[in-house]
Structure 1
Amino acid sequence: MEGGIHQNLLEHEAESSLFLKSKIWNETKKLWVVAGPAILIPFSTFGIHVISQAFIGHFSSIQLAAYALVFSVIFRVVLGFQFGMANGIGTLCGQAFGAKQYHKLGLYLQQSFIILLVATTLLTPLFIFAAPILKTLGQDHEIADVAGDFALWFVAISYLYALLLSFNSFLQSQSKNFILSLYAVLSLLAHIFFSWLLSVKLGFGVTGVMVSTALAYVMPNVGQFVYITCGGCKETWKGFTALAFADIGRTIRLSVSSGVMICLEFCYNTLLLLLAGNMGNAEVTIDALSICISISGWALMVAFGFMAAASVRVSNELGRRDVKAVKFSILMAVGTSFSIGLVLFVCFLVFREKAAYAFTNSEEVAGVVARLSPLLAFTLLLNSVQPVLSGVANGTGQQGIVAYVNLASYYLIGLPLGVILGYVFKLQVEGVWVGIIMGTAVQTAILVWMTCITDWDRQISLAQKRITPISLPKETLSP
């Protein structure tokens, strides 16, 4: 009798173990279906700028510092709003797709075009007046003047980026991953070739690099537009319509709160570069920091991939009204991203300045990068968790709350602490960076707490209300 009970318990444990393994494997596949292309896409888009920076860095250290200022300060502010707004609209796309309200995705895409292009136009003066803005912020005047010339190129790039982010959110929410991956790879490879051809082979120098940068964003925009409008998304794209303006106010509110949330994060890291520009030996310090930020940016793309995956998985499962699936997807996304972050943490502690020589020939700059590597490693570890939790907030539509969390953690704790350590205690750029890391740690802890106490049944109810306003006439819903 006892032996039979023991045997039954063993069989039950074996079945439970197999079920858990199957559940983990299935969720892992679902995560990587989104995360793989979501990593590849920002790897490509960010990689375009890293390649540009690498080519420019071999022409002049002043031009490298100027490009780094425009990209890491001015463009980062604009990109933060754009990326956040696109993610906010991606929340609506993901929830509508999960609820099988496919016709609404095309309307959200058109709303994304309108909102992001208007926002980009309003932010364009930041590029036009980049030089005086950077001088006002205390940057070296010679570097700021060169940066002003670079900034004009970023006007066109920012408009192209607005369209690209809209397409990406629309396609990503449907797991249309092949087309996203294809153009991500093609645009990156094309940029490497045209940068070499125009700047080195044909001798156009920095101008050739910037022309190649713009062309690298034209290619995916044209390709994805043709794919969407020519039958690639028959269920979700019904053509352009004035219905896109219906209830656009609700979409604007969600996208703006999401834009503020992400922009606060982007600008926070930018302040490290700005504060460093006010310290001694600005050119070397900015060059070294720009290299660290580039390396951090590459690694952050992995976390951004899982941020997108968490957002899509959470929003899809909320649309399907499956609480258990929501919780399990969050656990898997955070655990997988943290594991990768831990590996990167160890790698950058070991290799230190060796990676710097891909961006510069200066031993002095490489030495500063080596000195900052421990701080870079800790940043990579924290950044493997925090963006994924932000993705959970995106999936639930809680961007407004996270914006306040970011404001308090970054600008009331991290930044003041960094200024005190850097300037009062004379720890220079290391002190500023330590303060910024502490702010990120506080923000991560708050996001963990928020995720743990979330009422997911209530989030399902809110998700259903969020996607109900827009409707199409019945005759337009058939494929």
Structure 2
Amino acid sequence: MSRSGSSPIAIENGRDGRRHSVLSDFLSGSVPFSTSFIDTGPNVQEILTRDIQDCSSEEEDEYDDSDSESRSIHATDVQLAFHPTGVAYGSGFSTVPVPGRDVPVPNPHEVDESLQAELDLLHDNDIVTSKHPRTGWRATFMGRLYRSLFSTRVQDHKKPIHSPQDMTEATPLLPDMTITSGETSGDVTPTLSPDEVHKRWEEAVAAHDIKTTWQREAKTLVTYAAPLIATFLLHYSVTVGSVLTVGRLGMEELAAVNLATMTASITYYVPVQGLATSLDTLCAQAYGSGHKHLVGLQAQRMTWLLWLLMIPIAVVWWFSEPILAALVGGGQTATLAALYLRVLIFGMPGVAAFESGKRFVQSQGLFHATTYTLLIGAPLSFLQNWLFVLHADWGFAGAALAMAVTQTLLPILLMLYVQFFEGSECWKGFSRKAFSNWGPMIRLALPGMIMIEAQFSVLEILTIAAGRFGTAQLAAQSVLVTVTSTSFNIPFPLAIATSTRVANLIGAQLSDAARTTARVAIFAACAVGLFNMTIFVTLRRHLALLFTDDDEVVEIVVQVILVCAVMQIFDAMAAVSHGLLRGIGHQAIGGYANLFSYYAVALPISLWTGFALDWKLTGLWTGLTMGLAVVSVIETLYLYVTDWESAVAQAEARMRSETRRASVLE
């Protein structure tokens, strides 16, 4: 099947160009996509309508039309109610729903992924696959045992393992190879057109014939989560490399890099990520509406906005030493942290450009572009740390320089990928129009920034609190933050995959299948949490020695990491539970539960145990662990008592409502 943009075109050889979907009864013939894909928020419509009016010209119309034709697809229809999340494939998100923002238009990758998901479930239920007689070991007890454990086919789990049909002396050597109507030989699934797949899918869902197994859902979650885990780990490895290198310099440097990194994150990196999340909607909507040149325009506009935001923050970073000294006490740590921030100023433009660039390529379905960029950028970051810090003997400033160079290099690598490989169809060069129509974009972006900032601020408060305990405690905090953040890059992608899968199944009215996914996801979260906890407990001293050889810091890490190990269970459970809530459309519960747990539970307990009980760093992490325990319990209990059938009904109601309000951009 050829790849395509998500522009609204009819399926070839379809029934009068109408969508073939379980939701088709809710859609008028003029709506090319399920309205869950159309952001009807007034800000989005206002932005794109203005841009279309400003940019409309024969040249651009010809560009978009010819491009759509060159990338035609047999099925732009997404039957499994694909629900791309704002966080998917490395983009940021807020756990609290952002007003005025809806689900983006599906891109080619999501279209293909959704079609394959339909085909998999049809195959599992023997609706589109041939039923072939099993011969040899497959027909024996061992074959049935294997299938009962690993097969994704529904029927394989309904048959008894012990069967009177086990091969005996009377079993024919050549079994009956008669093939019924529509079947083929050789274990080859008949090739079906997307149109035929959609037709069979509609019929099967209407007849309630679609079931699933935990094996299928486990396989799907692994398939979805594995590339995300790789991408997230690659991206965070840039920070890990800097901390690893700085830890070789001394305790003061290790403490300073944590203070500087957290300050940079809260004052610039997190706001940039929060503002850039608006591009998840804007770029996807522009691409899906067929006005692909607007994708580049939106990315340009956001980049300029982020660069403008950079100026006052850069001034604060340059004169940050007295501020940091007041927060954590005077001394060498504040001086080094301020030096690190001054050097990082040179990487600020690259951070903004990379966040916008990620959305630019992801809106086209080119998620692998970011991964390929990081596959080159991350190793180069490690090389630069060795070169600048150890080989050139530039010390602490060299680590900051390596980070700044990497931050600048990543968007350049991404642009080179777009220029020489794919994605350039949405770029028509720089435009003065990027300096207009900022108001609606800012109104759309601000809520996301505020919500994300509110969640991450807790970590900065705890880092500042750790600084009040002394340099050794702050250095140990640097190690603990790094290892726990690294471990979180396993359950977090799992949560993304879970959210997407459950939302798809809920949208397709398959509540039983969604519940199966939920059970698999909860089990996987426990398994991941136990795995991380085991690593932390058994390798705690080795993990500490990776970052520093200072005996005092190592002993603090070895002691406190036991609390962090327990936290891994609740961290994974909270992440996946929230992913499930997002999937059933109840993310508000998880979002506000997170804010309550952080500010009403975690922060007070951390400060009380850390200072009043003099537990110091152990107290800070105890409070955070208890906060995560509370949020995971709240979310899990809510999921347990939730009526999943009502979630399906609510999804239908939202789609009906959006259908009445939606208008297709022309």
TM-score tier, shorter chain, comes to 0.7 to 0.9
Q: The residue matched to 1:384 in structure 2 has which SS? A: helix
The AA in structure 2 aligned to 1:162 is A
What do the CA deviations read for 1:165-220 (whole angstroms, capped 9, x no partner)? 33334444655343222221211111112222222223323333222222222333
Q: Give the Cα separation in 2 of the matches to 1:237 and 1:35.
A: 30
Matches within 5 A, 1:182-197: 182-197=372-387
Q: Kindly tell me: are residues 179 and 447 of structure 1, through their superposed partners in 2, closer, same or farther at Cα, counting changes over 3 Å?
A: same
Q: Which residue of 2 aligns with 1:322?
A: 508
Asked if 1 retains the 8 angstrom alpha-carbon contact of 2:278 and 2:444, the reply is yes
Matches within 5 A, 1:212-361: 212-228=402-418, 232-233=422-423, 252-253=442-443, 255-279=445-469, 282-310=470-498, 317=504, 321-324=507-510, 327=514, 333=521, 335-361=523-549
Q: Kindly tell me: are residues 307 and 14 of structure 1, through their superposed partners in 2, closer, same or farther at Cα, counting changes over 3 Å?
A: closer
Q: Kindly tell me: are residues 45 and 444 of structure 1, through their superposed partners in 2, closer, same or farther at Cα, counting changes over 3 Å?
A: same
Give 1:34 shift: 4.7
Asked if 2 retains the 8 angstrom alpha-carbon contact of 1:356 and 1:366, the reply is yes
Q: Kindly tell me: are residues 215 and 241 of structure 1, through their superposed partners in 2, closer, same or farther at Cα, counting changes over 3 Å?
A: same
What do the CA deviations read for 1:131-185 (whole angstroms, capped 9, x no partner)? 2222232434331122111111222334322322333344446553432222212
Q: Give the Cα separation in 2 of the matches to 1:96 and 1:271.
A: 39
Q: Kindly tell me: are residues 396 and 119 of structure 1, through their superposed partners in 2, closer, same or farther at Cα, counting changes over 3 Å?
A: farther
Q: Which residue of 1 aligns with 2:75?
A: none
What do the CA deviations read for 1:357-416 (whole angstroms, capped 9, x no partner)? 111011221111111122111222222233345556777888777654433221122211
The AA in structure 2 aligned to 1:223 is L
Asked if 1 retains the 8 angstrom alpha-carbon contact of 2:377 and 2:410, the reply is yes
Q: The residue matched to 2:572 in structure 1 has which SS? A: coil
Q: Which residue of 2 aligns with 1:58?
A: 248
Q: Does 1:366 align with 2:554?
A: yes
Q: Give the Cα separation in 2 of the matches to 1:296 and 1:165.
A: 23
Asked if 1 retains the 8 angstrom alpha-carbon contact of 2:235 and 2:378, the reply is yes
What do the CA deviations read for 1:72-115 (whole angstroms, capped 9, x no partner)? 24424533333344445436667898x88784765664564355
Q: Which residue of 2 aligns with 1:128?
A: 318
Structure having the higher Rg? 2
Q: Give the Cα separation in 1 of the matches to 2:586 and 2:303.
A: 22
Q: 1:387 aligns with which of 551, 569, 575?
A: 575
Q: Kindly tell me: are residues 170 and 131 of structure 1, through their superposed partners in 2, closer, same or farther at Cα, counting changes over 3 Å?
A: same
Q: Which residue of 1 aligns with 2:609?
A: 421
Q: Which residue of 1 aligns with 2:398?
A: 208
Q: Kindly tell me: are residues 231 and 426 of structure 1, through their superposed partners in 2, closer, same or farther at Cα, counting changes over 3 Å?
A: closer
Unaligned runs of 5+ in 2: 1-147, 160-208
Q: Give the Cα separation in 2 of the matches to 1:336 and 1:121.
A: 44
TM-score norm. by structure 2 comes to: 0.59
Asked if 2 retains the 8 angstrom alpha-carbon contact of 1:261 and 1:402, the reply is no
Q: Give the Cα separation in 2 of the matches to 1:252 and 1:120.
A: 15
Moved more, 129-138 or 51-60: 129-138
Q: The residue matched to 1:361 in structure 2 has which SS? A: coil
TM-score norm. by structure 1 comes to: 0.79
Asked if 2 retains the 8 angstrom alpha-carbon contact of 1:127 and 1:151, the reply is yes
Q: Give the Cα separation in 2 of the matches to 1:208 and 1:438.
A: 38
Aligned CA RMSD, in angstroms, stands at 4.1
Moved more, 448-457 or 174-183: 448-457
Q: 1:435 aligns with which of 623, 628, 641?
A: 623
Asked if 2 retains the 8 angstrom alpha-carbon contact of 1:183 and 1:223, the reply is yes
Q: Give the Cα separation in 2 of the matches to 1:76 and 1:239.
A: 32
Q: Give the Cα separation in 1 of the matches to 2:447 and 2:588.
A: 5
Matches within 5 A, 1:35-184: 35-87=225-277, 89-90=279-280, 103=292, 109-110=299-300, 112-113=302-303, 116-121=306-311, 123-172=313-362, 175-184=365-374
Aligned length: 458
Q: Give the Cα separation in 1 of the matches to 2:444 and 2:520.
A: 26
Unaligned runs of 5+ in 1: 1-9, 474-479
Asked if 1 retains the 8 angstrom alpha-carbon contact of 2:329 and 2:468, the reply is yes
Asked if 2 retains the 8 angstrom alpha-carbon contact of 1:88 and 1:394, the reply is no
Q: Kindly tell me: are residues 465 and 163 of structure 1, through their superposed partners in 2, closer, same or farther at Cα, counting changes over 3 Å?
A: farther
Q: Kindly tell me: are residues 121 and 172 of structure 1, through their superposed partners in 2, closer, same or farther at Cα, counting changes over 3 Å?
A: same
Moved more, 333-342 or 298-307: 333-342
Q: Give the Cα separation in 2 of the matches to 1:231 and 1:470.
A: 34
Q: Which residue of 2 aligns with 1:6?
A: none
Q: Kindly tell me: are residues 433 and 20 of structure 1, through their superposed partners in 2, closer, same or farther at Cα, counting changes over 3 Å?
A: farther
Moved more, 367-376 or 241-250: 241-250
Q: The residue matched to 2:510 in structure 1 has which SS? A: helix
Q: Kindly tell me: are residues 165 and 310 of structure 1, through their superposed partners in 2, closer, same or farther at Cα, counting changes over 3 Å?
A: farther
The AA in structure 2 aligned to 1:372 is V
Q: The residue matched to 2:562 in structure 1 has which SS? A: helix
The AA in structure 1 aligned to 2:322 is P
Q: Kindly tell me: are residues 25 and 176 of structure 1, through their superposed partners in 2, closer, same or farther at Cα, counting changes over 3 Å?
A: farther
Asked if 2 retains the 8 angstrom alpha-carbon contact of 1:229 and 1:239, the reply is no
Q: The residue matched to 1:385 in structure 2 has which SS? A: helix
Give 1:305 shift: 2.4
Asked if 2 retains the 8 angstrom alpha-carbon contact of 1:79 and 1:263, the reply is no
Q: Give the Cα separation in 2 of the matches to 1:449 and 1:211.
A: 47
Moved more, 266-275 or 26-35: 26-35
